[in-house]
């Protein structure tokens, strides 16, 4: 039986961190076993709000690819691709622009929230405003049937499916395929500051590529319970970053529950739980870092090249169907 | 000395008519002698407000090409191209979307007027809203230095030059070239109804491909002076469509002035001036129609193919410079 197609990916605006690991990478390792999975490095999407700093995106395309390979995304099972190297995606975006009203874009809750968060006023770039249409191009180009997303990304899938429905109806075709949101129930990983979600821009994350010393340093900086001054004081577990990370990364849930119990009562020091978390994270990240360091530039480049070419063939086929449906294949067979 | 590059074109939403002839085609015949002229059949732009009726656009791509060739656009001197067959234009549009704010698009006076005229409310398609950006892609792709436009199109050139300036500044390049508006001072040709400008959608135009009988029929339907009932009545020349057309198309200005004089005084019948206009237009359009009929489909297709391929090479070169400037040429030499 033909495997279902899944599309996932990241904006390469920084190296990947533990938030990505727990939020999406682990899931992709599972998905690649049963799905025909495309993993896209969305550099064009990253440029929509970083267009003045293209070097930041450029630098991170290969870093993100290394992170993928280091955690175990297998180029034999997943197709790794770079968005900007598939011009067909821009062309599909161009065609889909006609099918979405400005009013509809203005109503997109995901974009609305992001516009607010980024503080865009009359500075909002048209490229950022229109990026749900570009995402629809990405999803439909590969005929993705499932797209793993967080709750907040569901409106993007809805927008995609509206375009699919409208395109197929207007142009009397079935060449575009609806996508289904594969909801991830992983809660967002909190940053080491305990205030916000882990995010590279806030500098509160542990990167997959951090060295042993850096990991330890960050673990020992973690926000715990400010009222837990002496070891003997009762401590609070809720909002305590160390326990949130132990919940997320420690294999033995019972042991963690036991520690929480002891921490609450008093008698368990921050140094002890931080030591345990450090050991846990070192054990997780050491082999990832080793695999990462063993990768050579040319190998990564070759994998990205091969994956992108494979993906491009699929996008070209979809684009060709789209062009035929619209009726602009004037030179068919020649072009 | 290298000729300057000029870009002109039409949306292929209908066959060309006398309004196009006097408004732009005559000018292009002149321009092709001294400029490196690109004449673009802007089917993608036509789709932005006709996306639900692609067959209308498809049908007219070749009709417009025939009109061009029939009036004397010479494929040896001008490069005829079809917009949709140059995917690089969509890709450039995609990159430029980041450089223009939504607020700036909302302020574009040309688009504002068109939105009002077309009655778009919350039905405004993003593709139509963004078409000034697509136009900037067209202009810059061929590094057009002059763009012949009417007064109302000047904001489009300003928008293009803003993008050029911003792109070159942000990406430290000079690969994009500013364009200059070559203002056409030809007044808009009025329709045969005397109420509106000649426009295919109002059905008040004489097409370049109309046959002799149809031309005559339309001339004799023309709005003159409703108070000029008997031949002997004094007649009004202003707002009289027949005289507007004689002004535009009759070679002998003195003769026309003389007729106006006689018409004003009374004693000159509508039948006489309509007869003269008919003779004038038949003499103009007969050879155009003959050349049009002599064209064979394959010949037109071949000319469009060759022109489009020539133009595509230029657009590819520009796109390659643009991609390098942005820094997304990861596989340089390979792609």
The pTM for the full model equals: 0.94
pLDDT attached to residue B220: 97
Band of pLDDT at residue B334, cut at 50, 70 and 90: low
A46 CA: distance to closest CA in chain B (Å): 11
Interface ipTM: 0.94
Decide: A304 and A80 in contact? Cβ < 8 Å: yes
Q: Any CB–CB contact under 8 A between B111 and chain A?
A: no
Decide: B132 and B105 in contact? Cβ < 8 Å: yes
What's the token pair of residue B20? 């196009």
- The verdict on a CB contact (< 8 Å) between B97 and A126 is yes
Name the residue of chain A whose CA is nearest to B168's CA.
A52
Decide: A219 and A284 in contact? Cβ < 8 Å: no
Helix ranges, B49-153 (H): 54-71, 88-97, 102-107, 109-118, 126-129, 131-141
Band of pLDDT at residue B148, cut at 50, 70 and 90: very high
Fold that domain B5-189+297-326 belongs to in CATH: Rossmann fold (3.40.50)
Give me the DSSP letters along B280-326. Answer: HHHHHHHHHHHHHHH--HHHHHHHHHHHHHHHHHHHHHHHHHHHHHH
Distance, CA of A133 to CA of A154 (rounded, Å):
14
Mean of per-residue pLDDT scores for chain B: 95
Residues 6+ apart with CB under 8 A from B261: none
Q: Which of A47, A103, A123 is opposite residue B122, by nearest beta carbon?
A: A103
What's the token pair of residue A226? 């400010």
Angle in degrees, CA A167, A169, A174, rounded to 5: 75
pLDDT attached to residue A25: 96
- The verdict on a CB contact (< 8 Å) between A93 and B90 is yes
DSSP class of residue B114 equals: H
Burial of A269 (C-beta count, 10 Å sphere; 0-12/13-18/19+): middle
Decide: B255 and B273 in contact? Cβ < 8 Å: no
Largest CA distance in chain A: 81
Which residues on adjacent β-strands are paired with residue B9? B40
Could you tell me the sign of the dihedral formed by the alpha carbons of A14, A15, A18, A23, in that order?
positive
pLDDT attached to residue A1: 77
Contact list, B105 vs chain A (CB under 8 Å): 126
Burial of A332 (C-beta count, 10 Å sphere; 0-12/13-18/19+): exposed
B262 CA: distance to closest CA in chain A (Å): 53
pLDDT attached to residue B114: 94
pLDDT attached to residue A335: 44
Q: Any CB–CB contact under 8 A between A202 and chain B?
A: no
Ranges for all domains in chain B classified under CATH 3.40.50.620: 5-189+297-326
- The verdict on a CB contact (< 8 Å) between A61 and B330 is yes
pLDDT attached to residue B335: 44
Contact list, B301 vs chain A (CB under 8 Å): 330-331
pLDDT attached to residue B333: 57
Angle in degrees, CA B4, B7, B12, rounded to 5: 160
Q: Any CB–CB contact under 8 A between A58 and chain B?
A: yes
The percent of residues above 90 in pLDDT, for chain B, comes to: 93
Contact list, A51 vs chain B (CB under 8 Å): 98-99, 170
Residue by residue, pLDDT tens for chain A (335 residues) are 789 999 999 999 999 999 999 999 999 999 999 999 999 999 999 999 999 999 999 999 999 999 999 999 999 999 999 999 999 999 999 999 999 999 999 999 999 999 999 999 999 999 999 999 999 999 999 999 999 998 889 999 999 999 999 999 999 999 999 999 999 877 789 999 998 888 888 889 999 999 999 999 999 999 999 999 999 999 999 999 999 999 999 999 999 999 999 999 999 999 999 999 999 999 999 999 999 999 999 999 999 999 999 999 999 999 999 999 999 999 875 54
CB pairs under 8 A between A and B: 153
Residues 6+ apart with CB under 8 A from B184: B23, B24, B27, B148, B149, B150
Distance, CA of B91 to CA of A94 (rounded, Å):
8
> Which H or E element spans position A82?
strand A78-82
Q: How many CB atoms lie within 10 A of CB A132?
A: 24
> Which H or E element spans position B274?
helix B270-294
B26 CA: distance to closest CA in chain A (Å): 28
Which one of A53, A108, A163, A327 would you mutate to disrupt binding with B, by most B Cβ within 10 Å of its Cβ? A327
Distance, CA of B277 to CA of B220 (rounded, Å):
9
Contact list, A134 vs chain B (CB under 8 Å): 94
Ranges for all domains in chain B classified under CATH 1.10.240.10: 210-292
Name the residue of chain B whose CA is nearest to A120's CA.
B101
Q: Which CATH number fits domain A210-292: 1.20.1440.230, 3.20.20.10, 3.40.50.1010, 1.10.240.10?
A: 1.10.240.10
- The verdict on a CB contact (< 8 Å) between A102 and B93 is no
Contact list, A170 vs chain B (CB under 8 Å): 51-52
Distance, CA of A143 to CA of A204 (rounded, Å):
36
Name the residue of chain B whose CA is nearest to A128's CA.
B98
């Amino acid at each position: 039986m033909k495997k279902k197609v899944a599309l996932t990916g990241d904006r390469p605006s920084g190296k990947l961190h533990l938030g990505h690991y727990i939020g999406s990478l682990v899931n992709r390792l599972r998905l690649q076993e049963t799905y025909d999975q495309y993993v896209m490095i969305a550099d064009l999407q990253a440029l929509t709000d970083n267009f003045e700093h293209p070097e930041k995106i450029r630098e991170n395309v290969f870093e993100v690819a290394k992170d993928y390979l280091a955690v175990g995304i297998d180029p034999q099972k997943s197709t790794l691709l770079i968005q900007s190297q598939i011009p067909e995606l821009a062309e599909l975006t161009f065609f889909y622009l006609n099918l979405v009203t400005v009013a509809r874009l203005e109503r997109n809750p995901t974009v609305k929230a992001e516009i607010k968060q980024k503080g865009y006023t009359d500075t909002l770039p048209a490229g950022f405003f229109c990026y749900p249409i570009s995402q629809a191009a990405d999803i439909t180009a590969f005929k993705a049937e499932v797209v793993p997303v967080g709750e907040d990304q569901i409106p993007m899938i809805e927008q995609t499916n509206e375009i699919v429905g409208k395109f197929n109806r207007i142009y009397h075709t079935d060449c575009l395929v609806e996508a289904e949101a594969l909801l991830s129930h992983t809660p967002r990983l909190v940053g080491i500051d305990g205030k916000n979600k882990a995010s590279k821009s806030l500098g509160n994350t542990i990167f997959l590529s951090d060295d042993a010393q850096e990991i330890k340093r960050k673990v020992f900086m973690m926000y715990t319970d400010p009222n837990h001054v002496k070891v003997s004081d009762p401590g609070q577990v809720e909002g305590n970053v160390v326990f949130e990370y132990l919940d997320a990364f420690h294999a033995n849930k019972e042991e963690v529950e036991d520690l929480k119990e002891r921490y609450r009562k008093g008698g368990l020091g921050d140094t002890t739980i931080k030591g345990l978390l450090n050991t846990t994270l070192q054990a997780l990240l050491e082999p990832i870092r080793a695999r990462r360091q063993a990768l050579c530039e040319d190998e990564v480049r070759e994998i990205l090249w091969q994956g992108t070419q494979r993906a491009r063939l699929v996008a070209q086929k979809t684009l060709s169907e789209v062009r035929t449906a619209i009726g602009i294949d004037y030179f068919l067979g020649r072009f």
